[in-house]
Structure 1
């Protein structure tokens, strides 16, 4: 897993809050791409016991999470077409199961399409971190602001990129920050 294959832009150490949050989100997106780079379909579907997580599943899951928070919750729009026919009732982790049915190229293309869609939403909203979501929290019946959503996305990526580190190391011994 060569760093020259996937360079990540280090987030700025100072500057506007919105720019820093977007930079951290991009950094973690690039980290996931790096962890999945160069693997076969079988390797992307490999599990590290006792977990059933896979790198391909994490890629699909994080695409779904971003799409849900930015398209559905923040903007009140429909999710990406890829999720439309999912049978969530019979498989609550459908995106992770479905990932094993796709080639690495298909998974990366899906991930990149969804991320481009999410970036378009962020560009549309601009730097208004106080922008409130259309959908409300089920727990508190209050909207989320964009700041909360971006911090949550960074947290979600950071947690799952830790999983990705362990899974990738178990596949081929590759390590990296």
Structure 2
């Protein structure tokens, strides 16, 4: 695995910079975990009985980014690309090795748009989450996404190690 994708978070900075830095660190860690693999390897379900795959994690986190930043925070229309009523786990179950590179490119574009949207708001700004009561702050969104990525990066460690023996830190 190459670390060219990995961006270390700042160690002394303001709250916004630290939150963005840790989110970027976890996003880049995911890209690091999937680097250098073929489409076939990226869709491989290597930790049975789970249906998780590395590209499935990328697709899942693309949907998470779109839901939280695009649909919830910015209140922009954003329908799931992979999830449907018929295929609620379509991000994992319908992964196609021929689309793996496009899925990675889509992820990068979604992240770029998420950052642009977040830049329009202050940490204390609140929004209504579709289908859930109460207000959520941008600060909460950052913390939640950092937790979501950290958990799934742990999954990515296991998946990657089973594919080619490589582990991260």
Q: What TM-score, normalized to structure 1?
A: 0.88
1:1-177 aligned at under 5 Å gives the runs: 1-3=1-3, 6-47=4-45, 48-79=47-78, 83=81, 88-100=84-96, 102-125=98-121, 128-135=122-129, 138=132, 141-177=133-169
Contact 2:40 2:97 in 1 (8 A): no
SS at match of 2:115: helix
Q: Distance in 2 between matches of 1:2 and 1:70?
A: 29
Instruction: Quote the Cα distance in structure 2 between the aligned partners of 1:78 and 1:137.
Output: 14
The number of residue pairs the alignment matches comes to 168
Q: 1:7 and 1:57, CA in 2 relative to 1: closer, same or farther beyond 3 A?
A: closer
Asked whether the 8 Å contact 1:55–1:168 carries over to 2, the reply is yes
Q: 1:102 to 1:37 in 2, by over 3 A?
A: same
Q: Which residues of structure 2 form unaligned runs of 5+?
A: none
1:54-84 deviations in Å (ceiling 9; x for gaps): 000000000110110011111111116x72x
Write the deviation string for residues 106-148 of structure 1: whole angstroms up to 9, x where unpaired. Answer: 11111111111111111222xx11110143662xx21100011
- Report the TM-score when normalising by structure 2: 0.92
Moved over 6 A (4+): none
Q: Distance in 2 between matches of 1:134 and 1:66?
A: 16
For residue 163 of structure 1, report the CA deviation from its aligned partner.
Answer: 0.2
RMSD: 1.7
Gaps of 5+ in 1: none
Q: 1:136 to 1:130 in 2, by over 3 A?
A: farther
